[in-house]
Amino acid sequence: MTTFPSVSVVVPTRDRPELLRAAIRAILDQEHPGPIEVVVVHDQSDPDRSLEELSRPDRRVRVLRNERTPGLAGARNTGTLAAVGELVAFCDDDDEWLPGKLAAQVEALVAAPDAEFVSCGIRVSYDGHTVDRVLDRDRVALADLLRDRMTELHPSTFLIRATALRHGFGLVDEEIPGSYAEDYEFLLRAARSAPLVNLRTPYVLVRWHKRSYFAQRWDTISAALQWLLERYPEFAGQPAGEARVAGQIAFARAASGDRRGALHWARRTLRRNPREPRAYLALAVAGRVVRADAVLRTLHRRGRGI
């Protein structure tokens, strides 16, 4: 008799009640034969116990309060530690799983006993535009992630063995300033443990909008990315990857009005990779040739970020 693994889906939330309910329903509608529980974690907001009424047979909704570090990292860890499933998935409260997502990922993970983590493509929605982002590869190694953030690997696509989270590469890091880039650090650490499995299908609708947690927090972004470079000395062996992160810091410093900091990080970027476009965008913003928000709007319409 075939048994299907139980799945716990951790959904951090803060003040997005309508989008949250849509996210929960999309999870509950997944065609997975095994049990599913949705663990909703309210971060810096009052828990909405009425969400538990959305529960169905073998589809339980639980509501918790984030008792750990405020922010996404603490909220995800609160849910992960409370989860009872053999597999743990993440979903942001403003995203939606598309039909077939969970079944395909569970099948891929069961078929790869050496793997601990599976992701998939995304469908990005921003300002009336929709763009599919899919990686053209089945496995992602640490070196791949050092060279490129691969924004297709979005937290709402993550499905992970619970044992890897509790006894392997570990929980989401709560020390990162403002929880910014906690998903990237998490991916790097997971890939250190074992290559990530990737499905070449956009199974998650990801909404980018101005209410995103980090829309204008440039100082936090800069501090978090500097923290990341210090934490991962492997970047030194990947000049293009180090230049990419340094270029993001340069852009953040320029967007925050710190011209001297922007010039410092732009120079560091160009020393590592003279072709890194983020350095030139940072210099353009620092020189007031273009506004940072205009750059971001243009990139987001193409399903990309800085």
Residue 208 exposed, middle or buried by CB count within 10 Å (0-12, 13-18, 19+): buried
146 vs 301, more confident:
146
pLDDT value, residue 210? 59
| Structure confidence at residue 290 as a pLDDT band (50, 70, 90) | very high
Give CA–CA dist 273/46, Å, rounded: 47
pLDDT digits (tens, 9 = 90+) for 262-287: 999 999 999 999 999 999 999 999 99
Strand 139-140 to 129-133 pairing: unpaired
pLDDT value, residue 187? 97
pLDDT digits (tens, 9 = 90+) for 177-201: 888 899 999 999 999 999 999 999 9
Strand partners, 121: 202
pLDDT at position 143 over 80:
yes
pLDDT value, residue 2? 60
pLDDT digits (tens, 9 = 90+) for 234-243: 999 999 999 9
Share of the chain above pLDDT 90, in %: 85
pLDDT at position 213 over 80:
no
pLDDT at position 212 over 80:
no
Give CA–CA dist 197/21, Å, rounded: 29
Strand partners, 204: 97, 122
Q: Structure pTM?
A: 0.90
Question: Under a CB-based contact definition with an 8 Å cutoff, are residues 217 and 252 in contact?
Answer: no
pLDDT value, residue 214? 45
Q: What is the mean pLDDT of the chain?
A: 93
pLDDT value, residue 304? 77
pLDDT digits (tens, 9 = 90+) for 20-75: 999 999 999 999 999 999 999 999 889 999 999 999 999 999 999 999 999 899 99
Give CA–CA dist 155/183, Å, rounded: 6
pLDDT value, residue 126? 86
For the segment 300-305, the average pLDDT, to the nearest whole number, is 78
